[in-house]
Structure 1
Amino acid sequence: MIFTKSSDKKQAFINGWKQSKLVRLFLYLTLVLVFFFSVFQHLIVPNNNSGVADNEKESIQDTPVYVQHSIHSLDFLDRIFDKLEQINIDASLTDEVKTEIYSVYFSQEYDAFVEDNVKLLMESEESEDSFNVSLIQEIEKQYIDQQYTFPVEAFFKLPRLSQAEVIKMRPVAESIVSNLMKEQIEDASVIRGKVAEMVNASNLSDDDSRILVTEIVRYSIFPNYFYDAVATQDAMSATDTAETNYWQIVGLSILVILFTAFLYMYIRQSKLQLHNNNVQLLMLVFIFIINILGMKIVALGQSLDYPYLGFLAPVAMGSMLIAILLDYKLAFISSILFSLLASIIFNFENPDVLFDYRYGLVASVISFTSIFAVHKASQRSSILKAGIFIALVECLSIASIFLLTDENNITTFVLSMTFALMNGLLTAVFVIGILPFFEVSFGILSSVKLVELSNPNHPMLRKLLTETPGTYHHSVMVANLSEAAAESIGANGLLCRVGSFYHDVGKTKRPNYFIENQINSENPHDTIDPDLSKSIIIAHARDGVEMLKEHKMPKPICDIAEQHHGTTLLKYFYHKAKKQQELSGEFEEEIQESDFRYPGPKAQFKEAAIVGLCDCVEAAVRSLSNPTMDQINTMVDKIIKDRLEDQQLNECDLTLKEIDTIAKTLKETLLGIFHSRIEYPELPSRDNDKKGVTKDEATVSM
């Protein structure tokens, strides 16, 4: 007895966690922590080092501080081209004179340009009361030390350029210089190494023009990233004195709590099963973790060479999984959070702002698109099609961003488009791969899986159709009834439909012992003992479960097959056995009602209970030769009343209000199914009401 009580308590604990408020609170707190740590390094700017480990302090002290100062390279480039146009158009000058002018001009112009920029920098520093002599000296030194040596042979080629060639060369040079100077250039020779390839990719066809543009662009590349000795020393001095910025942590905490509260309030107000079902809530948390982890992994690869790598992140994966496994409206809400997180996690180029709208916009567009594409998906191939659709829509989104921001870097644009196309494929592959994990681990049947199981070509359904056509027809009728009944109370109608298809598959072992398959043949139960008949009938539920498990059918389908009869009594054979005992006069062993009951278990969830009710109702109404509306209503009410009195619905979470709704839906659906066979009462004629005459033709066709 002690062991039994202990087992009961253990089972109660296992079942209890699914509705436990404490577990639910823990899961929401987990979401808060997931949000917090996923964006912590992106939003919390370290302005201190207090509390930092000694080895970390040493690392900070050894790290030099650099500042970025961009020189106006395009102005310098324009001066060169202006000089080219001015000199080359002058017919009074020979090529030799022009060559000599250029050899002197390039060097003088570089020195003058550097001197002017250094003066401007000094004046700017003085006006801001932040004069940093060492930094200005370092900048000037690097400009001089890293001056490009213009090839002597190029000076001889410059005078040969026509006016048209110079005009064509200018925009190519400006575009390349503009793009390259956006990078952090500490060593200009590294950047200059990229020039030749970029020139070759331009529209210049003349060899001399390409060579000269390459040299002019290289000459116009200046360093813009400089070592700041003062700032480095200040950072080293501040290592042991700065304090933690707790206000940022408070701000981040408020932000992630708002995220979680937003999600919680929607779940609560929408009255989803998720609100009281911790299994589904746990799955939602897992989906958020997987999706955020995917974004974080992609973010690790972001660099100056691949700043738009964030477009590769399969952000829509989480939205698709939620739409397929949980609820498509919840997927829209989650997509908003995913988009905000993406705009934070991929904010690589704009450290001064919290969110990068580009990634947030693209993430929201592809997430919403994915939901529209898959929330009614009937096959896994639909997910792949959704991935293609996601890729196309993401390409359009990125194109709009590039056009609006006037971004003219073709290489970056092509890379971004490539990432978008790969994103669509990756998203589809990941969703198809992860979906079975959630279906198996959480015992959830997606609509995609259910629709696949409802295919008439499924081996078990073909077996049911060919070997037991009567049972197959009965199962289809039960499917229609149960789906309508389930949807009327917000239960899973598709699960009821598919469960109905398979609920009587066990009858294929002994098809002739079930009345719907006895076409033009005798009933074998008329000639055998009622106890044997009972064993054969009861066995079909157990046989069905075994067959379904052999075919590795999902647990909910197996549960419906096992639970649809509950522990109901086989009244016909029970009373037949009692009658035979009375006629024989042998009362040595009393016939027990429990011996003629199904072994159960009773229905443990709404869908199993609904299929059980519809199974009984369909068989009962089918037995009527010409059912009337009153007969159908009476039959439905009687069956439901019997099930309630027999306590068959006590272990599922159907409410009395829901049972009443199911009864009304069943009556309406049955009227639609049997409308051609129902006889309606004659209606009194309005013209002859006083005489009590009725009209023979006063029938209504439905």
Structure 2
Amino acid sequence: MKKFNFKNFLNTLYQNHALAYKIVLFIVTTVAIVYLFPKGGHFKYEFHNGKPWQYENLYAPFDFAIQKSEQKIEEERKSITSNKKLYFTYKEEISNKVKKEIENKITNNTQDSILKSYSNKQVLNFVNNIVDIIYKKGYINENDVNRVTEKQLVALRKGNVISDVVFDNFFTSKEKAQFINDYIEKSKYKTLDTYLTPLLVQYLEPNIFFDEELTDKILQDQLNKISLTEGLVREKERIISKGDVVEGLKFRILTSLEKEYISQVWNQSNYNWIVFGYALLVALNLLMLLLFLQKYRSFIFEDNTKVTFIFFNIVLMILLVTLVVKYKVDYLYVVPLPILPIVIKAFFDARLGLFTHVLTVLLLGFIVPNSFEFIFLQIIAGIITILTVSELHRRANLFISISQITLVYMVAYFAFSIIQEGNMLKINWEYFILFALNGVLSFMALFLILIYEKAFGLVSDVSLLELSNTNSKLLRELGEKAPGTFQHSIQVANLAEASANEIGANAMLVRTGALYHDIGKMVNPKYFTENQTTSVNPHNDLTPKDSAKIIIDHVIDGVEIAKKYRLPERIIDFIRTHHGTSLVYYFYKQQEKENPEDLKIEDFSYKGPIPFSKETAILMMCDASEAASKSLKEPTAQLIDDLIEKIVDSQMANGQFMNADITFKEIQTIKKVIKKKLNNIYHLRIEYPE
């Protein structure tokens, strides 16, 4: 048996660390998404209110209660709340307190001539009688008067006894004053009216107070007693027949069955199996994304940072939707999902943006209610996003695109509502406000792009606009050290930008890449024809192999300079691929002529890689065409056309565009653009008389 070698295991792991990272990232992302999924199973029937039942006759698989609709429960809650009984507290200690204060006042007031006609004991007995009458009936706090309507029955708590009382039986402050005045006027103490009335009005204080805590407690108890069910369906009882319209009681029964089914399926015994099922579906979804990247975007697949970036954005969108569904599902359509394809397209391309968006929306179908409607709306919005959003550095373009996306949301929702409700009367117009908010929040894509550029080292159109400024430090240095190369780069940038616009590629990206594609020539500028200002050619003193090495090395030197100046990888890709694996043909033929015995094709071939996108393919065609056009001594339209055809056809024949996402039709279009532009540059001018 072969002994396990831990050192070899570590070496193998180190050599395959990129793949190991992807496996770990894949597992972590799958676990994170499954964790965010709702803890519930899925009902196997799809049904909508007002639509026919599409399945066979349905019978109850078990006994279950019919759940009341949310609307009905809310109506009951409102009814109980609006008819709630108000509770008041009777404070007996107030009476003794007031009597004591009045007694002290009268006893200490020996100087008043009016009181001298009566004994204090008689007056006090009379006053206490008035106090007893008022407090027995009840004197309500003035702040609580407006809480109750006339003749309303309220509850009055005296100690531990609660009894119902008509609210009008209580004294108010106004009624109290009138009662005191009338009572004294009819008694033998009416001569004391001017003294006793103000005294009693002053010292009498309310003994009936609104008990808010008790009222709320009783109300809450009543609300908690609301029944959530309104009947029972027995096992094997027929619920609905095929073709029946799902409405009214049948709709409520089906809804109740769905809730009960999910509740019974999602129990401890089935929990692990359901999680396993979710994990398989999520893993399959993410695997499709990885396979797409490996097959069609290998340069992204090989970059773990970029793969992490894509997975991070998927999890972020799922997290946002999960939180909204959990805490405020009514705001589901406020979540700006179009941000995902905007961001992915800004850093990569439209096809990957749409692919990622569709896979994310499919995952969200497990989380949201009315999943078909949600998936349809979001996929349509994603398609419109990919088709309309371009040139993010131009804010007006983004505003127009997001306006179009918002409009599509509204139109699609309007159509769904009509289909489901059968008319326009039941459309929830608040959703149109939610879609508008969605559009506003989608502008956050610009801020996210700036954050992602710093966090992941990626590049967007906004950064490309800054890099394409010819006054940047590196391009100024190119202009000083290799002025001919600088002019060549500008011409190639113009050709590439025009070509990209014509076929719908990223014009800003290819223009920026074209400006930097030859920066490696700064190392040995005089060895390149465009920088030779005299008839002296330094290649005359070198062997063809050495000359070819200097020419080939400008790609390697360019990559090194680009990394030194921290240019984004997307720009460095143009430097790497603009010659692909083509031959340095001139020196190859020279070596073949002078020393065929020492002729090795790899010594005269660029190291690649070949172009892997529309933009890098465009640059290869434009670079070779512009450089070759300088060799025409007397350029004519026919010569230029023949030259471009020969160059591009040769590149195609040599397989330089095999990995590029570009069609034959697009290549033909690019040829036409290059021919037109070069003909405009080399057209004959009118000879002006001296």
Partner of 2:173: 156
Work out whether residues 148 and 218 of structure 1, in 8 Å CA contact, stay in contact via their aligned partners in 2.
no
Partner of 1:552, secondary structure, is: coil
Partner of 2:531: 517
* Aligned mates of 1:568, 1:357 — CA distance in 2: 51
Partner of 2:609, secondary structure, is: coil
Task: Kindly state the Cα deviation for residue 626 of structure 1 after the two structures are TM-superposed.
Answer: 2.8
Partner of 1:457: 471
Task: Kindly state the Cα deviation for residue 636 of structure 1 after the two structures are TM-superposed.
Answer: 2.9
* Aligned mates of 1:428, 1:418 — CA distance in 2: 18
* Aligned mates of 2:651, 2:387 — CA distance in 1: 41
Partner of 2:224, secondary structure, is: strand
* Aligned mates of 1:362, 1:149 — CA distance in 2: 58
Partner of 2:316: 290
**From 668, 671, 678, the counterpart of 1:673:** 678
Which structure has the larger Rg over C-alpha atoms?
2
Partner of 2:77: 70
* Aligned mates of 2:508, 2:379 — CA distance in 1: 29
Task: Kindly state the Cα deviation for residue 275 of structure 1 after the two structures are TM-superposed.
Answer: 12
**Are positions 1:639 and 2:686 aligned together?**
no
Partner of 1:199: none
Work out whether residues 578 and 619 of structure 2, in 8 Å CA contact, stay in contact via their aligned partners in 1.
yes
**Are positions 1:547 and 2:555 aligned together?**
no
* Aligned mates of 1:605, 1:249 — CA distance in 2: 47
The structure-2 alpha-carbon separation of the partners of 1:145 and 1:473, relative to structure 1 and needing over 3 Å to count, comes to: farther
**One-letter amino acid matched to 1:662:** I
**One-letter amino acid matched to 2:452:** I
* Structure 1 residues 605-663: Cα deviation after superposition (integer angstroms, max 9, x where no partner): 34545533432221121221332233223323443465567x5x3694269x9568636
Partner of 2:48: none
- The equivalences for 1:160-171 within 5 A come to none
Task: Kindly state the Cα deviation for residue 549 of structure 1 after the two structures are TM-superposed.
Answer: 0.9
**One-letter amino acid matched to 2:489:** S
Task: Kindly state the Cα deviation for residue 548 of structure 1 after the two structures are TM-superposed.
Answer: 0.6
Partner of 1:530: 542
* Aligned mates of 1:667, 1:406 — CA distance in 2: 52
**One-letter amino acid matched to 2:629:** V
* Aligned mates of 2:286, 2:176 — CA distance in 1: 70
- The equivalences for 1:588-667 within 5 A come to 592-594=598-600, 597-598=603-604, 600-607=606-613, 608=616, 610-640=618-648, 643=651, 647=654, 649=655, 652-653=658-659, 658=663, 662=667, 665-667=670-672
**From 307, 310, 321, the counterpart of 2:343:** 321
Work out whether residues 626 and 678 of structure 1, in 8 Å CA contact, stay in contact via their aligned partners in 2.
no
* Aligned mates of 1:475, 1:434 — CA distance in 2: 29
**From 153, 160, 172, the counterpart of 1:109:** 153
The structure-2 alpha-carbon separation of the partners of 1:493 and 1:98, relative to structure 1 and needing over 3 Å to count, comes to: same
* Aligned mates of 1:356, 1:108 — CA distance in 2: 50
The structure-2 alpha-carbon separation of the partners of 1:460 and 1:362, relative to structure 1 and needing over 3 Å to count, comes to: same
The structure-2 alpha-carbon separation of the partners of 1:388 and 1:631, relative to structure 1 and needing over 3 Å to count, comes to: closer
Aligned-pair RMSD on alpha carbons?
7.1
**One-letter amino acid matched to 2:667:** I
The structure-2 alpha-carbon separation of the partners of 1:391 and 1:491, relative to structure 1 and needing over 3 Å to count, comes to: closer
**One-letter amino acid matched to 1:622:** K
The structure-2 alpha-carbon separation of the partners of 1:111 and 1:39, relative to structure 1 and needing over 3 Å to count, comes to: same
Work out whether residues 285 and 359 of structure 2, in 8 Å CA contact, stay in contact via their aligned partners in 1.
no
* Structure 1 residues 54-104: Cα deviation after superposition (integer angstroms, max 9, x where no partner): xxxxxxxxxxxxx99637256538999xxxxxxxxxxxxxxx999799999
The structure-2 alpha-carbon separation of the partners of 1:625 and 1:227, relative to structure 1 and needing over 3 Å to count, comes to: same
Partner of 1:433, secondary structure, is: helix
Partner of 2:253: none
**One-letter amino acid matched to 1:40:** P
Task: Kindly state the Cα deviation for residue 471 of structure 1 after the two structures are TM-superposed.
Answer: 1.6
* Aligned mates of 1:154, 1:460 — CA distance in 2: 91
Task: Kindly state the Cα deviation for residue 501 of structure 1 after the two structures are TM-superposed.
Answer: 1.5
Work out whether residues 603 and 652 of structure 1, in 8 Å CA contact, stay in contact via their aligned partners in 2.
no
* Structure 1 residues 501-548: Cα deviation after superposition (integer angstroms, max 9, x where no partner): 111112233434432233xx3133168502365554444323212111
- The equivalences for 1:469-508 within 5 A come to 469-483=483-497, 494-508=508-522
**One-letter amino acid matched to 1:475:** S
Partner of 1:40: 38
Work out whether residues 491 and 606 of structure 1, in 8 Å CA contact, stay in contact via their aligned partners in 2.
no
The structure-2 alpha-carbon separation of the partners of 1:10 and 1:570, relative to structure 1 and needing over 3 Å to count, comes to: farther
Partner of 2:451: 433
Work out whether residues 340 and 355 of structure 1, in 8 Å CA contact, stay in contact via their aligned partners in 2.
no
The structure-2 alpha-carbon separation of the partners of 1:661 and 1:254, relative to structure 1 and needing over 3 Å to count, comes to: same
* Structure 1 residues 241-270: Cα deviation after superposition (integer angstroms, max 9, x where no partner): 97757999999999999999999999999x
TM-score by length of 2: 0.50
Work out whether residues 530 and 573 of structure 1, in 8 Å CA contact, stay in contact via their aligned partners in 2.
no
The structure-2 alpha-carbon separation of the partners of 1:555 and 1:268, relative to structure 1 and needing over 3 Å to count, comes to: closer
* Structure 1 residues 310-360: Cα deviation after superposition (integer angstroms, max 9, x where no partner): 687554442432343455577678768877977985x7xxxxxx4499999
Where in structure 1 are there 5+ consecutive unaligned residues?
A: 1-8, 18-22, 46-66, 81-95, 113-143, 161-210, 232-237, 348-353, 680-702
Partner of 2:133: none
Partner of 2:154, secondary structure, is: helix
- The equivalences for 1:292-311 within 5 A come to 292-297=318-323, 302=327
Partner of 1:623, secondary structure, is: coil
Partner of 1:131: none
Work out whether residues 525 and 531 of structure 2, in 8 Å CA contact, stay in contact via their aligned partners in 1.
yes
The structure-2 alpha-carbon separation of the partners of 1:670 and 1:35, relative to structure 1 and needing over 3 Å to count, comes to: same
Work out whether residues 468 and 515 of structure 2, in 8 Å CA contact, stay in contact via their aligned partners in 1.
yes
* Aligned mates of 2:354, 2:379 — CA distance in 1: 9
Work out whether residues 387 and 428 of structure 1, in 8 Å CA contact, stay in contact via their aligned partners in 2.
no
The structure-2 alpha-carbon separation of the partners of 1:567 and 1:591, relative to structure 1 and needing over 3 Å to count, comes to: farther
**One-letter amino acid matched to 2:340:** G
The structure-2 alpha-carbon separation of the partners of 1:222 and 1:449, relative to structure 1 and needing over 3 Å to count, comes to: same
Work out whether residues 391 and 425 of structure 1, in 8 Å CA contact, stay in contact via their aligned partners in 2.
no
* Aligned mates of 1:474, 1:326 — CA distance in 2: 27
* Aligned mates of 1:322, 1:512 — CA distance in 2: 42
The structure-2 alpha-carbon separation of the partners of 1:577 and 1:495, relative to structure 1 and needing over 3 Å to count, comes to: same
Work out whether residues 155 and 163 of structure 2, in 8 Å CA contact, stay in contact via their aligned partners in 1.
no
Task: Kindly state the Cα deviation for residue 292 of structure 1 after the two structures are TM-superposed.
Answer: 0.6
Partner of 1:524, secondary structure, is: coil
The structure-2 alpha-carbon separation of the partners of 1:522 and 1:38, relative to structure 1 and needing over 3 Å to count, comes to: same
Work out whether residues 501 and 507 of structure 2, in 8 Å CA contact, stay in contact via their aligned partners in 1.
yes
* Aligned mates of 2:362, 2:580 — CA distance in 1: 49
The structure-2 alpha-carbon separation of the partners of 1:381 and 1:628, relative to structure 1 and needing over 3 Å to count, comes to: closer
* Aligned mates of 2:153, 2:365 — CA distance in 1: 44
Greater shift in the superposed pair: 537-546 or 491-500: 491-500
The structure-2 alpha-carbon separation of the partners of 1:431 and 1:382, relative to structure 1 and needing over 3 Å to count, comes to: farther
* Aligned mates of 1:597, 1:72 — CA distance in 2: 90
**Are positions 1:226 and 2:240 aligned together?**
no
Partner of 1:561: 575
* Aligned mates of 1:103, 1:75 — CA distance in 2: 12
* Aligned mates of 1:317, 1:593 — CA distance in 2: 55
